[in-house]
């Protein structure tokens, strides 16, 4: 387990998104990490299709729902990683 990792990704096409994100997610899953991908609805479909059966091992979440208000976003991260206020995460990878 690698601990909490947050990655932001710049891409210019569907292929660019998949080239960077698919391997990142698979590497996290292979390491036994919790993987949370907060992406657009379109990218949920693309990434889910690219991962195939492994997509069930990752949590793919629509960014519109996740990032609606900053205080809710922080609370969602805390809940996802079961963080106490101001605490350190147990483990996991986050790709956004």
Q: Are 47 and 37 in contact (CB under 8 A)?
A: yes
**Burial 1-24, CB ≥16 within 10 A → b, else e:** eeebeeeeeeeeeeeebbeebbeb
- The span from the CA of 47 to the CA of 86, in Å, is 32
Q: 63: which 2 tokens?
A: 């960014």
Task: Categorize the per-residue pLDDT at 51 as very low, low, confident or very high, splitting at 50, 70 and 90.
Answer: very high
Q: Which residues constitute the domain of residue 49?
A: 5-95
Within the chain, what is the greatest distance between any pair of CA atoms?
Answer: 38
> What predicted TM-score, i.e. pTM, was given to this entire model?
0.72
pLDDT at residue 34, as a whole number: 83
Total structural domains in the chain? Answer: 1
Task: Categorize the per-residue pLDDT at 14 as very low, low, confident or very high, splitting at 50, 70 and 90.
Answer: very high
Q: Which among 1-10, 24-33, 71-80 has the top mean pLDDT?
A: 24-33
């Amino acid at each position: 387990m690698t601990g909490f990792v947050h990655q932001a990704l710049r891409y210019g096409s569907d292929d660019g998104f998949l080239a960077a994100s698919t391997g990142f997610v698979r590497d996290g899953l292979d390491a036994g990490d919790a993987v949370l991908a907060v992406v657009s609805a379109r990218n949920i479909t693309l990434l889910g299709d690219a991962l195939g059966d492994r997509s069930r091992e990752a949590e793919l979440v629509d960014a519109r729902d996740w990032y609606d208000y900053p205080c809710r976003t922080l609370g969602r991260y805390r809940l996802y990683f079961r963080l106490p206020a101001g605490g350190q995460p147990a483990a996991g990878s986050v790709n956004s």
